[in-house]
Amino acid sequence: MSEFANDIAKFNGIYKLPVNTAPTLDVGVPAAERMAAFKDILIEEVHEIDEIIAAQKEGKDPLEVLTMLADLLGDIQVYCASEMAKFGLPLDQVLGVIMQSNFSKLGADGLPIYDERGKVMKGPNYWKPEPKIRALLESMKQE
């Protein structure tokens, strides 16, 4: 486990949030209720982007804008990682699978493919991460 994943487990423990070591939907409240609360938290965080956009448009100091952005993006990562710990989802391994899947998106020429927004598109060798994530979670339940 990475230092960040360890810190998340410590954080959840300190704040009396669930920390599960195996995949589970048993998080102390109905899982759907927990996911709805998590969605609300993320939506609140996403709306903070408007403040950052406004700060940039108002000509605020670039370092102040970057600080706001770093704080927002870091908070989102902490919320997501904390949620993974609650559900017993292995942060480092899941992210590793997703990153390998992202690398598989390259075009036949080995170069990235972008849409008009700059989003990376899927190339001919792309594979979905879900089957590997499922296998990972299944292996954890068997241990």
Kindly tell me if the per-residue pLDDT of 143 is higher than 80.
no
Same domain? 6 vs 34: yes
Per-residue confidence at 41, pLDDT binned at 50, 70, 90? very high
Same domain? 39 vs 82: yes
Of 73, 89, 105, the position where a domain reaches its end is 89
Per-residue confidence at 106, pLDDT binned at 50, 70, 90? very high
pLDDT at 141: 82
Kindly tell me if the per-residue pLDDT of 142 is higher than 80.
no
Same domain? 5 vs 43: yes
Q: In this structure, what CATH number is given to the domain that contains residue 78?
A: 1.10.3420.10
End-to-end, the C-alpha distance of the chain in Å comes to 17
Q: Could you report the per-residue pLDDT of 117-141, keeping only the tens digit for each?
A: 999 999 999 999 999 999 999 999 8
pLDDT at 77: 97
Q: In total, how many domains does the chain have?
A: 2
Question: How much is the mean pLDDT over the chain?
Answer: 96
Same domain? 65 vs 112: no
Dist. CA 41–CA 7, nearest whole Å? 20
Q: Could you report the per-residue pLDDT of 44-78, keeping only the tens digit for each?
A: 999 999 999 999 999 999 999 999 999 999 999 99
Dist. CA 97–CA 101, nearest whole Å? 6
Same domain? 4 vs 50: yes
Could you give the maximum distance between any two Cα atoms of the chain, in Å? 55
SS3 114: strand
